[in-house]
Structures are given as C-alpha cells and as structure tokens.
Amino acid sequence: MSASAPRKALNIDNINPHVKAAEYAVRGELAVRSEEYRAKLARGEGKDLPFDSVIAANIGNPQQLDQKPITFFRQVASLLENPLLLEHEDILIKSLGYKSDVIERARWLLKEVKSIGAYSQSQGAPGIRESVAKFIERRDGYSANVKDIYLSTGASSGVNTLLHIICAKPETGILVPIPQYPLYTASLSVLDARCVPYLLEESSGWGTDLQAIHDSYEKAISEGTDVKAIVVINPGNPTGSSLSLEDIKSVLKFAAEKGLVVLADEVYQTNVFIGEFISFKKALRDLQKESPGQYDHVELASLHSVSKGMVGECGHRGGYFELVGIDPKVAEQVYKFISIQLCPPVIGQCIVELMVNPPKEGEPSHELYKQEYDGIFGDLKKRAYALFDAFKQMEGVECQTPAGSMYLFPTITLPAKAIEQAKKEGRKPDEFYCSRLLDATGVCVVAGSGFGQKEGTLHFRTTFLAPGTEWTGRIVKFHKEFFEEFR
C-alpha cells in the first residue's frame, strides 16, 4: 500500500447517482446558512449582522416559531412517558391541573401499546388505528377499516413507502403537481422513476387544471412512460390553495379513466381558511354512490400527519395513510416493506390518536382544548392575511388569496438588472432574491425553483407561522431596497 492515501472507496463520483440527483430545497443551502446565522447570534457574535434574529419561514415548523403545543396532548404524553405518575392521581389533578380525561386516556393508550418503549405492530398499534378509522368515518360519513390504516413516521415516510411500492422500473411515472412539495421529486429521483409534472393554475387560486393533467399524461405516455399514479396536495403546499369539490372529482374521474392510483397528501386538512376541506376519500365514495359500478376500481392512498394543523407536533414524527381499493396482495407488500423499519415511533402514534380523538364537548379537557385550538387557528389566519396584505403593497409581487395550508407562494417579477446579476453569480433569479433576503433580514424563505414553477415565472414560499408582524416589515423594507438597487 502506498503511503499517500488512495482515493476514498466512496466518493462523489461513485455513490448512488439517484441520491445525488435528488434536490430538496426546503432544507438546502439557505436553510443551512440561516442555521449558521442563528448559531452565531446565539453565541453573541452577530454584531456585524444587519438583524438580531433569524426567522425560519422556510419550513412549516410551528413550535420552532413559538406555537404552544396543545395542553391535552402533552399532558397525556407526559403520563405515557412516565406511567409511575399515574400512581399519584390526586397530585396530578389537585396540584398539576391534569383533568380526569387526561388520566383516562393515558391509561387506555398504555393498555393498547403496553409501553411506548416497546415496538408496536409495524402497521401501528391496533387500538390507535381503530381511533383513526373512527375519525375518518366521522369526517367523511363513510366507513373506514382498521386494516386499511397504516401509521407512519410523519407523512413523509408514508409517501416514501407508497412510492417504493409503485415505482417498479425507470419508466414508471407519477403525475406530480407543479409547484409541489419537493419530497415527491426527491423521492422519485432516489427511486430512479419519472416525475410527470402537471402545472397548477395560479390564476384560479392554484386549482387543478384537468386539461394540463391530460396533456402531461398524454405527453408522458407518448414518451414511453408508464404513468401509474397522480399526486394531489390539498390544501396546497407550497401554493396555499384549497381545492374545490369539482377539482377533486375531476381528478378522481381522470384517475378512474386512466387507471391511476391517487396519492392524496392531505396533511393540511385542518388549515383551511376558505370553504371547507373535502377529503378525496369522501369525494370518491360520493362518486361511487352517484354512479354505481363506475368508480369501484379506483385506488387511493390518503395521508395525514400530526405535524401540521393546529397540532403542529412535527418533532413527534407521527402520521398515517389509508389505503382504499388497493389489492390485498399489494397491501401485503406494503406491510412487509414497512416491517423492515420495524414500526413508527410509538409516542408519535399516540399523538396521532390524540389528534384524531381530541376531548369531546362536555369532557373535562374540552374547554381548554377548544380555546387553544381556536386560538391557534385564528392567529394563523390573521397572520396569513397580514402577510397577504403586505405582499399586495409590494412592487412586482402578486399573491393568490390565502385559502389553506401554512404557506403563501407569491409571484415576483424581478427587475432585469437583478436577473442579470443573478446570472453573473451563477444563481437562479429567485434563489438570488431569497439569498439576498436572508442576508439582509435573517428571514429564510424558499425560492420557487425549489418547488417547480411555470417557465418564465418566479416565486418564493414563505410560512406565516412566525409570531408578530415585525419580520413582515423586514421583508417589505428589503424588497423596496432590492428594487431600488436593481431598477
């Protein structure tokens, strides 16, 4: 062996090219730099920075931005972590503010999982899946079966599972909305399958455009792509949209006609500001009732999570998906696949249970729960509209009315000089804008190119989770100065 070190066995030129090809901007370069700024400020070394705090508006992470957890959830969770506390009911109730339903729920969950330190069934604890099924029944007015519910490590791992099952070969294609949450394109890259993009219609609140879906599908088929599924994110990420029943039904009809599996990413189902949320499952059952026999073959997987909504328990990595109309032999393979990773975090499973089965009216914890839930909802809505109003006043910025999810996704029309400067620096124009925004204000957003956007358009995605309006002011001021600099 020579004394000079040979090239590493693993190097950038010989590792998995499909991993290399994946892009995930939500936690990309800007996110990393914003963390460096945050650490610098925390060390008291940020005197040279033109801001005194970092605002992580790049990711839907409510509790990072001071959203308080729902008390009922966390009281139950504390008892699950330390069941010995249940030997002190009196103290819990009289001195620590725990209500009797907190204690009952903890006892019931412990009976179901035995210990949150034990692996559960790979599909999730049966009692918890039962609660999820009942929740879906109440939500949709149609039955749900515990055997079709799969608990997951956040919705992300559910998406990963479903795409692993579906993507059979490099020609397999999945219709993905553009703009999209980059989990989809990144996972398809890793799986060496094809993303078949279909454009959402910005001018109509980022709704689905059946003609666009149809054209993308036909184009893909003509190129030899075996299109197997269509992803819909409703309410929309990054778009902030909320789909109409008509849009949902037209996607289902298209899927029925072409034999596509529908992947309904419904993690923002309680973040709806305009109209009401309608699940793909309900819309499918409606169609099946209206046209007997016509839609029985439709295959649907719908995903939910504890990370979003008023729950905001991202760090607990809880979620589930429901399989509808899936061949039992395929479901067996889903089970086997998830079993390789043993089981989702059990305390996360318990948070799923609490989310789908919160205190009911008349129960001791209900009043506080409702007050907290409504408070968070109201705050989010208020901030969404405050940000929307700020965008309306900004030169070259247009934004659809906030309808759902945790994001706004405005169009930005940048001055030609800025686009030139971006080119000089080897950056996409929207990334250039977002990078400058971060350096000037400490506000971290994600460039539209990280989600995909119609050619020739530029956007960025921002959450409206950060409290107060001071940070909105920073954006407005930066934007004005940016335009002055590059006009």
Binding to a second copy in span 46-65, by CB under 8 A: 59, 61-64
User: What is the distance between the alpha carbons of residues 335 and 343, in angstroms, rounded to a whole number?
Assistant: 10
Binding of residue 43 to a second copy (CB under 8 A): no
Binding of residue 415 to a second copy (CB under 8 A): no
Task: Count CB atoms within 10 A of the CB of residue 12.
Answer: 7
> What is the footprint of a second copy within residues 183-202 (CB under 8 A)?
183, 186-187, 190
User: What is the distance between the alpha carbons of residues 230 and 95, in angstroms, rounded to a whole number?
Assistant: 53
Binding of residue 127 to a second copy (CB under 8 A): no
b/e map of 91-122 (b: 16 or more CB within 10 Å)?
ebeeeeebbebbbebbeebbebbeebeeebbb
Binding of residue 8 to a second copy (CB under 8 A): yes
CA 441 to chain centre: 26
Q: Which stretch binds a second copy (CB under 8 A): 196-204, 243-251, 314-322, 411-419?
A: 314-322
Nearer Cβ to a second copy (198/391): 198
Please state the closest distance from residue 257 (CB atom) to a second copy, in A: 7
Q: Which amino acid is at 184?
A: Y
Binding of residue 289 to a second copy (CB under 8 A): no
Nearer Cβ to a second copy (307/400): 307
Nearer Cβ to a second copy (11/222): 11
Binding of residue 146 to a second copy (CB under 8 A): no
Q: Quick one: tokens of 359?
A: 């205190």
User: What is the distance between the alpha carbons of residues 35 and 56, in angstroms, rounded to a whole number?
Assistant: 9
Nearer Cβ to a second copy (124/205): 124
Q: Which stretch binds a second copy (CB under 8 A): 141-149, 166-174, 195-203, 264-272?
A: 166-174
Q: Please list, in sequence order, all residues whose beta carbon lies within 8 angstroms of the beta carbon of residue 412, skipping any fewer than 6 positions away.
A: 396, 397, 430, 433, 458, 459, 460
Q: Are strands 299-305 and 319-324 parallel, antiparallel or unpaired?
A: antiparallel
**List 200, 314, 356, 397, residue binding a second copy (CB under 8 A):** 314
Binding of residue 121 to a second copy (CB under 8 A): yes
**143 burial level (CB within 10 Å; 0-12, 13-18, 19+):** exposed
User: What is the distance between the alpha carbons of residues 453 and 463, in angstroms, rounded to a whole number?
Assistant: 18
Q: Are strands 299-305 and 261-265 parallel, antiparallel or unpaired?
A: parallel
Please state the closest distance from residue 10 (CB atom) to a second copy, in A: 5
Nearer Cβ to a second copy (94/138): 94
Q: Which stretch binds a second copy (CB under 8 A): 150-158, 198-206, 361-369, 446-454?
A: 150-158
User: What is the distance between the alpha carbons of residues 152 and 110, in angstroms, rounded to a whole number?
Assistant: 19
> What is the footprint of a second copy within residues 218-247 (CB under 8 A)?
228-229
Nearer Cβ to a second copy (341/371): 341
Nearer Cβ to a second copy (122/400): 122
DSSP notation for 39-72: HHHHTT-GGGSS-S--EETTS--GGGGTPPPPHH
Number of residues that bind a second copy (CB under 8 A): 106
Binding of residue 342 to a second copy (CB under 8 A): yes
Binding of residue 112 to a second copy (CB under 8 A): no
Please state the closest distance from residue 205 (CB atom) to a second copy, in A: 27
Strands of 311-390 (E only): list them: 319-324
Please state the closest distance from residue 472 (CB atom) to a second copy, in A: 21
Binding of residue 249 to a second copy (CB under 8 A): no
Nearer Cβ to a second copy (11/203): 11
Strands laid side by side in the 194-199 sheet: 149-152, 319-324, 299-305, 261-265, 226-233, 172-178, 194-199
Binding of residue 371 to a second copy (CB under 8 A): no
Q: Quick one: tokens of 46?
A: 């940020």
Nearer Cβ to a second copy (246/257): 257
Q: Which amino acid is at 112?
A: E
Please state the closest distance from residue 111 (CB atom) to a second copy, in A: 10
Binding of residue 122 to a second copy (CB under 8 A): yes
What sign results for the dihedral spanned by CA atoms 344, 356, 362, 310?
A: positive
Q: Please list, in sequence order, all residues whose beta carbon lies within 8 angstroms of the beta carbon of residue 221, skipping any fewer than 6 positions away.
A: 227
**List 54, 109, 128, 160, residue binding a second copy (CB under 8 A):** 160
Q: Which stretch binds a second copy (CB under 8 A): 71-79, 206-214, 267-275, 426-434?
A: 71-79
- β-sheet bridge partners, residue 320: 151, 304
Binding of residue 361 to a second copy (CB under 8 A): no
**List 316, 383, 459, 461, residue binding a second copy (CB under 8 A):** 316
Binding of residue 340 to a second copy (CB under 8 A): yes
